[in-house]
């Protein structure tokens, strides 16, 4: 923990969460659990959720500042399923935040309450196969008003956790003639609506997965939902998506820092325990010492970047922190992936096996440099914003 | 093809092999085939093997120089199963080379003939879980002479393709009191020998695989094999292993170059076809152009390095090329992984899916920087050899 | 300025210092001034020193916390001679800090008072040509007690600013039989002592320089100084050197961040103003935007690292911050040099000329990765300290 | 030497040249010579030129293929003034090549003969301060026909070796209405023509230099030269410039490889001789071994790239090798600068001094990534050319 960002709440909470994670969740990191489809371990995870509730650690994100929750998120991320067990996994956490602020009371009553209890799951359908994800104002999905209904048609993919979700929040064009950033709206669609279909769980890095741990292609075919399922106002889709991204980046980045910390820990343990057969331990090799030192400095730097950004959002709002939010996305993703890679190299062949957690992150987190805006998109956005001041 | 290394044979062969690979093998690159266990596609691959024989392209490695075969290997590597279909996949190709030179006529008759026909498979058991792979003179596996038999005991892992292999060549200590590099021997063990056991296919990057596409932990428990199963002479185990490595590195490195070329091709196709929705194609973005240019230069450089090393081995022997062999291992592995990574980034989320081949290599080829001596081991060996001249 | 580290004092001081630097010092950045020996511009700089005193900005380091002074240091570093004009240049600032804490009242009266007024200069002689700088416990210089005197013999180099210094603090072995870290002492030597000689200003990066902007080889030949010239206690040489390093690193690192910020500013100005003749400005090229974005993120990260370390030192002492102090040295030096390099590349051929400041830093600051412990020394120290907890 | 590119001529020449360089030129590498203006060492260098002639090694470039001369160039580059002493220094070598092919007999008689004898020097004026060098079709300098004369007006900079040159070949617009690539011509201007002026030697990296080792700003003010001073045909300026670049890149790149080899040698010598005071030599540290190994692999790769490109130009012409020519420029420059940087880091503070050659190259060769087309320009050109095939 960085002293700079310590709070009384965290001083109380973090050790308890850390102990819970180590005691209850680390033992679940078996080869079997890490390679099985999600549905096979859901039951055991749901039991752990009960323990979280019993320990008074449920729903933390609703009572903490972003700076505080970021630090919780780091600890949860030290094990692959930490966020799920604490019910603050993406995309549900983002949907909760969105609905708390912008959903009608009726929608909250019907959908948010059970989501917050962990009884249901949700998904968020934005990216489309036909359009570059880096340019979110181009969408093919439409929601046309007919009477009291929106009739939605379109195809989305990389819709995380659609498999088994109870509802989906979809981004669709409601006014194609509006200025580009006012064309889309966010609409809640119950997944049992006729015309909503999970076409397939996309096979990614060798696995199509299932349940919460999957990314689907979904279609909307004349899918009718009441006009009252609109989140926020019509045409506010992009603005809401932007609003989601600020805190969302903090969540992701702190999650990556948690991953990096755990990978760092694995690397150090291996280095100290591995006898090289030449009278030295791996820890005495300069190559390995170099990786450890660089990783330590980089993780510390990334954490300071992310938490200072969280503080900026807490105090001045996401708009004021826009540039810094761009920075942390590409800065932190790179560092996390570099640390994971160094840890693999340190562990040698064993590091490639599913016994070391590292290969799980190597596969599942390469996406960090792509989703929510590829590295390159953020770099361009940041540079343009900086250069505007010089123009 | 580099003109520098063209030969008449290659001018005839390469276009035919390339056409075969593109016509017969590219269509096999489906999501299903790339994510299924090997046993599910073995039958279809074996049919392709018949076509290879019919086309007169079987067993090329036995009739080509290393420089020539290297260039064949590059083309075969442009698809994940090319080497298997042409029966020049590791570890069988290495075992064939070894046995051609060092096995008795009886062993050749009993085991090599069918291996060369592609009727059987083999494996090579060297690395052990308890010993750092970077220091091959430390082995725990022993072969003790009792009468006309070696009695072998030990545990090996990352024994590629042990699952379903007909025989295993094992490295075992035959004389613990000899100088370190004279302690071990290589012995052929039929896999139906009592006491030989494939304990498990190791789960790597989320998959334990099966058949040829797996890496096993195997045990030898009082495993008795005739003394005549010795390959070469007693105590020559390390020398034979070294001998295997020179050409083996060329095979691997040219395979990596083939992978890099195909990834490069995928990257360029994506760049040219992807409309970014802002009036530009991805190919017009400098970030992507930079990746393409750097990849082109690096792949060309790596190919020159590897083929010039192959030529050195052909002309002067592996010993003369020792330093260069160390260089190409770490130099080429890095370049291949970098190109695959850039290609993924260029393809965006789609690049992570199993529809783009890239994720297959991302997972399966991270090992390139580890097996057959980690990057770091080769760097140290190279530096020491260079510095010796300055001492 | 990072809000996290703002203080009332800084809110008042920083804008005034920034204005002073921009108004009074930027105009001095002519090709002539940047390429002349220091002695040619000393007069004009000394006039600026009077203005600093008049503005009430003299001697700030004595009244500020490390976190505060770090931020001042960043602003001063935005021009090559800022620190000199404010009399907080190395090595004088380090000598002032040392003497304030550890010199006798007599030494303070005789040497420190005039140093603080900017009437004199000093140097610090530690590194020796015959011994690796990364291992400071090996020294050849000795100080042997004879009556009331130390008789000092030895050769030092890279003694910054020895040319024209009024006194030198020298590290010399006073007890060769003590444990390694207790052998040396720090002793003040007036530069007009017989036997003290500035042998030469070392020619570095094409210039031997002179005065404050030079690095000398100096010799001590039977150089007699009173025993009372000892700083601190006998045998405390290394401990005092260590003590100097904590704050010293903050000074250096914040100076590097100031350099990086100015280089960043030059890069942005060039990008926005340079017409590429193809209808675009340099600022519209993705390569340049990428450099700008990466530099922004890295500089921000480095500043957070350094200031959080300064805060740790302020609050908990340098010992508690030891690991972080190692981190910032190599982390910040690399970032500064990378930003300077990118800025040069952005400016093209012009960036190599002495009209752009960049080439000044390119030459003068490459040393950042070497002095006060090379990158590698800090990485090893950091890794060892981390790994100790795992042992 | 790479066996692949050995020839009988080289087997004879290279050892003689190498011996000459080591015996006659290495002793000139004193701090004084490396930091003095060129004019102060010209006399001693001219004496060495006489020795080159006596040894029958003068004017080699005129009798060798590009592959052969490239290898000569590497050896000459191992000392900073090798090319000058052998009269194959830029820009004279480029001017000689150009004039041999495209100058009239009269121009050859008047200007080329003495240049080839080393009695005169020349320069080439292309880059202009007002126009981005990466886009050579934008020029402000004009040559207007009046009677039998061109009247030239314009301003050029980074005109290497203009100071003391006997003539200048200038690129000027002769037909502003022609298609962009047909607008300019190359015209020979005697430097004693009225209106030709060397305005200043540009101060670069702290030095403005003089004579051959300087880069000037030059102006043409109503500068009248006979129409017969045209090189090649009117409007062929860009084509001639392109033609110059192919072999020019080989010259530069092989020169960089020579520099890298010498830096590598310096690094190894330092590593082996430096006692770290901890019982180890620097050569035993993995960090240093890593740099040595990576440098070895990279230099070898770069040499193969450049010489294979030279061979392509020799055999198929520069047009066929265009992509490879782009590759080697940025690939080799980066490697050379990286090796120089690692060598500096290995040598520590001493590496920054002018006693180690390294700082000479660090300053003088940073330009490698900028002149003759910045890295980025070549990357874009290469990528565009590759992507054209995919369109």
Between chains, do B206 and A275 touch, taking CB under 8 Å as contact? no
D277 to chain B, any CB pair closer than 8 A? The answer is no
Q: At what angle do helices B375-388 and D237-273 cross, to 10 degrees?
A: 80
CA distance C86 to C17: 10
The reported pLDDT for the residue numbered A130 is 80
Coil/strand/helix, residue C215: strand
D225 in any annotated domain: yes
Tens digits of per-residue pLDDT, A311-323?
A: 999 999 999 999 9
C111 in any annotated domain: no
Considering the domain architecture, whether residues A175 and A34 belong to the same structural domain is answered as no
Considering the domain architecture, whether residues A176 and A306 belong to the same structural domain is answered as no
Tens digits of per-residue pLDDT, D31-40?
A: 999 999 999 9
pLDDT at D279 over 90: no
Burial label for A146, CB within 10 Å (0-12, 13-18, 19+), is: exposed
Considering the domain architecture, whether residues A249 and A371 belong to the same structural domain is answered as yes
* Pair of tokens at residue D390: 């995919």
Q: In whole angstroms, how far apart are CA A143 and each of A95, A150, A226, C254?
A: 20, 5, 11, 54
C50 in any annotated domain: yes
Which of D216, D231, D246 marks a domain boundary? Answer: D231
Lowest mean pLDDT among A123-137, B26-40, D137-151: A123-137
C135 in any annotated domain: yes
DSSP string for residues in C231-267: ESSTT-HHHHHHHHHHHHHHHHHHHHHHHHHHHHHHH
Coil/strand/helix, residue C141: coil
pLDDT at D2 over 90: no
* Pair of tokens at residue B383: 């530096």
Between chains, do A301 and C296 touch, taking CB under 8 Å as contact? no
Between chains, do C287 and B290 touch, taking CB under 8 Å as contact? yes
- Single out the residue of C150, C166, C184, C189 nearest to residue C116, CA to CA: C166
A290 to chain D, any CB pair closer than 8 A? The answer is yes
Q: What ipTM was predicted for this assembly?
A: 0.96
D231 forms bridges with which residues in the sheet?
D186
Lowest mean pLDDT among A20-24, A133-137, B157-161, D315-319: A133-137
DSSP C2: -
The reported pLDDT for the residue numbered B134 is 58
B153 forms bridges with which residues in the sheet?
B142
Between chains, do B330 and D293 touch, taking CB under 8 Å as contact? yes
Please check whether residue A85 is in contact with residue A23, taking contact to mean a CB–CB distance below 8 angstroms: no
Considering the domain architecture, whether residues D54 and D188 belong to the same structural domain is answered as no
Q: Give the residue-averaged pLDDT of B154-179.
A: 96
pLDDT at A137 over 80: no
Tens digits of per-residue pLDDT, B302-358?
A: 999 999 999 999 999 999 999 999 999 999 999 999 999 999 999 999 999 999 999
The reported pLDDT for the residue numbered C1 is 65
Which of B174, B206, B231 marks a domain boundary? Answer: B231
C-alpha torsion sign, points C307, C311, C313, C314? positive
Between chains, do A132 and B362 touch, taking CB under 8 Å as contact? no
Mean per-residue pLDDT over chain A, rounded: 95
Q: What is the dihedral of CA D257, D259, D261, D263, to 10 degrees?
A: -150
Here the CATH number for the domain that contains residue C158 is 2.40.110.10
Between chains, do C327 and A293 touch, taking CB under 8 Å as contact? yes
CA distance A150 to A130: 22
Tens digits of per-residue pLDDT, C140-165?
A: 999 999 999 999 999 999 999 999 99
Who's near D317: CB < 8 A, 6+ residues apart? Answer: none
Please check whether residue A362 is in contact with residue A344, taking contact to mean a CB–CB distance below 8 angstroms: yes
Who's near C140: CB < 8 A, 6+ residues apart? Answer: C128, C130, C131, C154, C155, C173
A162 in any annotated domain: yes
Considering the domain architecture, whether residues D358 and D327 belong to the same structural domain is answered as yes
Who's near B303: CB < 8 A, 6+ residues apart? Answer: B2, B74, B254, B257
pLDDT at D130 over 90: no
Q: Give the residue-averaged pLDDT of A33-52.
A: 96
Considering the domain architecture, whether residues C187 and C244 belong to the same structural domain is answered as no
Q: Where are the alpha helices (DSSP H) in A200-348?
A: 237-273, 286-316, 322-347
B279 to chain A, any CB pair closer than 8 A? The answer is no
D38 to chain C, any CB pair closer than 8 A? The answer is no
For chain A, what percent of residues have pLDDT higher than 90? Answer: 91
Q: Which residue has the tokens 């040598």?
A: D347
Here the CATH number for the domain that contains residue C42 is 1.10.540.10
The reported pLDDT for the residue numbered B132 is 74
C320 to chain A, any CB pair closer than 8 A? The answer is no
D113 in any annotated domain: no
Chain B residues with CB inside 8 Å of C290's CB?
286-287
From the list A345, A351, A363, the residue facing B206 with the nearest CB is: A363
Lowest mean pLDDT among A156-170, A244-258, C224-238: A244-258
Tens digits of per-residue pLDDT, A173-186?
A: 999 999 989 999 99
Helix (H) or strand (E) holding B178: none
Rounded (5°) CA angle A378-A384-A390: 150
Residue of chain B nearest C286, judged by CA positions = B286
Q: Which residue has the tokens 């965290």?
A: A10
Chain A residues with CB inside 8 Å of B133's CB?
348-349
Tens digits of per-residue pLDDT, B217-249?
A: 999 999 999 999 999 999 999 999 988 888 889
Considering the domain architecture, whether residues D275 and D372 belong to the same structural domain is answered as yes
Please check whether residue C165 is in contact with residue C253, taking contact to mean a CB–CB distance below 8 angstroms: no
Considering the domain architecture, whether residues B242 and B370 belong to the same structural domain is answered as yes
Q: Give the residue-averaged pLDDT of A17-24.
A: 98
Which of D231, D260, D291 marks a domain boundary? Answer: D231
Please check whether residue B147 is in contact with residue B191, taking contact to mean a CB–CB distance below 8 angstroms: no
Q: Give the residue-averaged pLDDT of B249-266.
A: 97
- Single out the residue of C104, C95, C240 nearest to residue C172, CA to CA: C240
Cis peptide before D356 (omega within 30 of 0): no
Mutate to test the interface with D, among A279, A286, A345 (most CBs of D within 10 A): A286
CA distance D250 to D326: 11
Burial label for B141, CB within 10 Å (0-12, 13-18, 19+), is: buried
For residue A303, the enclosing domain spans 238-388
pTM listed for this prediction:
0.97
Q: What is the dihedral of CA B13, B18, B21, B22, to 10 degrees?
A: -150
pLDDT at A360 over 70: yes
The reported pLDDT for the residue numbered D134 is 58
Between chains, do D203 and C135 touch, taking CB under 8 Å as contact? no
C142-146 vs C149-160, strand pairing mode: antiparallel
Who's near A257: CB < 8 A, 6+ residues apart? Answer: A74, A77, A299, A302, A303, A306, A332, A336
Residue A204 pLDDT grade (very low, low, confident, very high; cuts 50, 70, 90): very high
pLDDT at A135 over 70: no
Tens digits of per-residue pLDDT, D53-92?
A: 999 999 998 899 999 999 999 999 999 999 999 999 999 9
From first CA to last CA, the distance across chain C in angstroms is: 40
Q: What is the CA radius of gyration of chain D?
A: 21
Backbone angles phi, psi at B159, to 5 degrees: -85, 95
CA distance C316 to A53: 38
The reported pLDDT for the residue numbered C136 is 64
Q: In whole angstroms, how far apart are CA B140 and each of B155, B172, B174, B372?
A: 8, 8, 11, 18
The reported pLDDT for the residue numbered B372 is 87
B291 to chain A, any CB pair closer than 8 A? The answer is no
Considering the domain architecture, whether residues D89 and D143 belong to the same structural domain is answered as no
CA distance D316 to chain C (A): 32
Considering the domain architecture, whether residues D15 and D135 belong to the same structural domain is answered as no
Tens digits of per-residue pLDDT, A331-354?
A: 999 999 999 999 999 999 999 999
Q: What is the dihedral of CA A254, A259, A260, A265, to 10 degrees?
A: 130
CA distance D282 to D276: 6
Size of interface C-D (CB pairs under 8 A): 133
Who's near A105: CB < 8 A, 6+ residues apart? Answer: none
pLDDT at A382 over 90: yes
CA distance C249 to C251: 5
CA distance B166 to A280: 38
The reported pLDDT for the residue numbered B366 is 98
Chain C residues with CB inside 8 Å of B287's CB?
286-287, 290
Question: How many C-beta neighbours within 10 Å does residue C97 have?
Answer: 17
Question: How many C-beta neighbours within 10 Å does residue D194 have?
Answer: 9
Considering the domain architecture, whether residues D68 and D158 belong to the same structural domain is answered as no
Helix (H) or strand (E) holding A50: helix A42-54
CA distance D80 to chain A (A): 34
C371 to chain D, any CB pair closer than 8 A? The answer is yes
Here the CATH number for the domain that contains residue D346 is 1.20.140.10
Question: How many C-beta neighbours within 10 Å does residue B27 have?
Answer: 10
Tens digits of per-residue pLDDT, B323-339?
A: 999 999 999 999 999 99
B160 forms bridges with which residues in the sheet?
B215
C-beta pairs of A375-378 under 8 Å, 24+ apart in sequence: A375/A329, A375/A330, A375/A333, A375/A334, A375/B345, A376/A134, A376/B285, A376/B287, A376/B345, A376/C286, A376/C290, A377/A134, A378/A326, A378/A327, A378/A329, A378/A330, A378/C293
B218 forms bridges with which residues in the sheet?
B156, B198
Chain C residues with CB inside 8 Å of D202's CB?
353
Q: At what angle do helices B237-273 and B66-76 cross, to 10 degrees?
A: 40
Full 3-state SS string of C122-135: EEEECCCCCCCCCC
pLDDT at B175 over 70: yes
B285 to chain C, any CB pair closer than 8 A? The answer is yes
CA distance B156 to B218: 5
A163 in any annotated domain: yes
Backbone angles phi, psi at D259, to 5 degrees: -60, -45
DSSP A111: I
Q: Which residue has the tokens 């009024």?
A: C166
Considering the domain architecture, whether residues A251 and A218 belong to the same structural domain is answered as no
Residue D310 pLDDT grade (very low, low, confident, very high; cuts 50, 70, 90): very high
Residue C132 pLDDT grade (very low, low, confident, very high; cuts 50, 70, 90): confident
Residue A2 pLDDT grade (very low, low, confident, very high; cuts 50, 70, 90): confident
Q: What is the CA radius of gyration of chain B?
A: 21
Domain count of chain B? Answer: 3
pLDDT at A293 over 80: yes
A100 in any annotated domain: no
Tally of CA atoms within 13 A in the half-sphere of C13 that contains its CB = 24
Please check whether residue C229 is in contact with residue C205, taking contact to mean a CB–CB distance below 8 angstroms: no
Please check whether residue A194 is in contact with residue A153, taking contact to mean a CB–CB distance below 8 angstroms: no
CA distance B217 to B198: 6
Chain B residues with CB inside 8 Å of C278's CB?
none
**Residues across chain D:** 391
Who's near B292: CB < 8 A, 6+ residues apart? Answer: B264, B267, B268, B271, D382, D383, D386, D387
Mean per-residue pLDDT over chain B, rounded: 95
pLDDT at D356 over 70: yes
Q: Give the residue-averaged pLDDT of A364-375.
A: 94
* Pair of tokens at residue B75: 């083309």
CA distance D37 to D40: 6
Cis peptide before C104 (omega within 30 of 0): no
CA distance B275 to chain D (A): 13
C-alpha torsion sign, points D36, D38, D39, D41? positive
Residue of chain D nearest A288, judged by CA positions = D286
Q: Give the residue-averaged pLDDT of C290-295.
A: 98
The reported pLDDT for the residue numbered C305 is 98
Size of interface B-C (CB pairs under 8 A): 10
């Amino acid at each position: 923990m960085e002293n700079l960002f310590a709070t009384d709440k965290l001083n109380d909470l973090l050790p308890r969460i850390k102990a819970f994670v180590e005691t209850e969740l680390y033992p679940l990191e078996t080869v079997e659990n890490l390679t099985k489809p999600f549905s096979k371990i859901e039951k055991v995870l749901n039991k752990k959720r009960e323990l979280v509730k019993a320990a008074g650690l449920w729903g933390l994100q609703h009572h903490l500042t972003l700076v505080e929750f970021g630090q919780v998120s780091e600890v949860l991320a030290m094990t692959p399923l930490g966020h799920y067990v604490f019910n603050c996994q993406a995309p549900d956490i983002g949907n909760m935040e969105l609905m708390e602020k912008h959903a009608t009371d009726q929608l909250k009553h019907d959908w948010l309450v059970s989501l917050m209890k962990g009884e249901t799951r949700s998904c968020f359908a934005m990216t489309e196969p036909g359009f570059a994800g880096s340019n979110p104002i181009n969408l093919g999905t439409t929601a046309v008003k007919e009477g009291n209904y929106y009739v939605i048609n379109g195809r989305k993919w990389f819709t995380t956790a659609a498999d088994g979700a109870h509802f989906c929040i979809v981004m669709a064009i409601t006014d194609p003639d509006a200025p580009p950033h006012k064309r889309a709206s966010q609409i809640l669609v119950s997944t049992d609506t006729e015309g909503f279909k999970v076409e397939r769980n996309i096979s990614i890095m060798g696995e199509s997965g299932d349940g919460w741990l999957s990314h689907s292609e979904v279609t909307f075919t004349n899918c009718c939902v009441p006009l009252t399922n609109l989140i926020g106002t019509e045409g506010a889709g992009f603005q809401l998506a932007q609003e989601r991204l600020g805190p969302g980046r903090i969540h992701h980045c702190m999650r990556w820092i948690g991953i990096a910390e755990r990978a760092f820990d694995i690397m150090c343990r291996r280095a100290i325990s591995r006898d090289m057969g030449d009278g030295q331990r791996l820890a005495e090799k300069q190559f390995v010492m170099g990786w450890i030192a660089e990783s330590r400095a980089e993780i510390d730097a990334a954490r300071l970047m992310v938490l200072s950004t969280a503080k900026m959002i807490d105090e001045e709002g996401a708009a004021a922190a826009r540039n810094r939010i761009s920075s942390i996305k590409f800065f932190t993703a790179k560092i996390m992936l570099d640390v994971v890679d160094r840890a693999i190299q340190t562990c040698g062949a064993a590091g490639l096996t599913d016994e070391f957690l590292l290969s799980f992150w190597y596969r599942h987190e390469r996406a960090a440099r792509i989703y929510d805006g590829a590295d390159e998109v953020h770099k361009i956005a940041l540079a343009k914003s900086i250069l505007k001041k010089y123009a």
